[in-house]
């Protein structure tokens, strides 16, 4: 076979980027619509969210992004600057069982990680979420919350309950974001290892 594995993998990266963008397009739209709707539809809740924004933006969520950026820079440097254009075909790997097996395992890992990421649904804004936000906004802005506090001798404090519920919800969201960011990093790391493996195979076979 005369398929250039290096060119094929480069094409794969382009295709998987396009598929990932298309699969997440609805999520991006939902996030933007939610952010734009917060100040107008839920002003009190929006202020409360700002008080707890550190739960979503902290070193645990930023570190994977930094590592991802570093891996991207390294991958780009290796792919475009350090190594010249070359050809690596399956026929070149015949007789090199360990090398072919290693590249095959890495390729399977990359496809599995990318395939799982594409198959996971990503709905952010749902009617249930809007309903919960409406209820939270009602108790944060309504005078009935003070009435409830007065009748229950402050044993039931709706606004404080909303704040605690929101904090717990944001912590859960932050954990989800952390997991997603680390998964994204593992995807890029697997892609980088496969790219380096292909280039190393070309260099080793060329030197031999």
CA-CA distance, 176 to 180, in Å (whole number)? 6
Contact 34, 115 (CB under 8 A): no
pLDDT of res. 120: 75
Residue ranges of the chain with per-residue pLDDT less than 50: none
Measuring CA to CA, how many Å separate 170 from each of 135, 167, 197, 202?
17, 5, 40, 48
pLDDT of res. 93: 92
pLDDT of res. 100: 94
- pLDDT, tens digit, 9 for 90 and up, residues 120-133: 766 655 677 677 77
Residue 175 CA neighbour count, 13 Å, CB half: 5
User: SS3 of 183, please?
Assistant: helix
pTM: 0.69
Quickly tell me which residue has 């995807």 as its tokens. Answer: 187
pLDDT of res. 62: 59
pLDDT of res. 106: 96
What is the rounded radius of gyration, in angstroms, for the C-alpha atoms of the chain? 25
CA 187 to chain centroid, in Å, comes to 10
pLDDT of res. 54: 61
pLDDT of res. 97: 93
């Amino acid at each position: 076979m005369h398929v250039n594995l290096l060119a094929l993998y480069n094409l794969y990266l382009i295709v998987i980027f396009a598929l990932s963008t298309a699969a997440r397009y609805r999520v991006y739209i939902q996030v933007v619509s939610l952010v734009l709707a917060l100040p107008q539809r839920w002003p009190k809740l929006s202020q409360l969210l700002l008080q707890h924004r550190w739960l979503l933006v902290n070193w645990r969520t930023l570190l994977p992004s930094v590592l991802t950026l570093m891996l991207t820079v390294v991958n780009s440097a290796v792919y475009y600057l350090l190594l010249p254009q070359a050809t690596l075909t399956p026929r070149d790997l015949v007789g090199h069982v360990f090398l072919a097996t290693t590249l095959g395992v890495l390729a399977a890992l990359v496809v599995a990680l990318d395939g799982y990421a594409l198959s996971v649904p990503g709905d952010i804004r749902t009617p249930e979420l809007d309903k919960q936000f409406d209820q939270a906004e009602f108790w944060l802005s309504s005078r009935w919350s003070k009435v409830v506090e007065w009748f229950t001798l402050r044993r039931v404090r709706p606004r404080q309950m909303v704040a605690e519920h929101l904090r717990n919800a944001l912590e859960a969201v932050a954990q989800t974001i952390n997991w997603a960011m680390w998964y994204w990093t593992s995807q890029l790391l697997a892609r980088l290892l496969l790219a380096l493996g292909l280039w190393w195979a070309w260099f080793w076979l060329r030197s031999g």
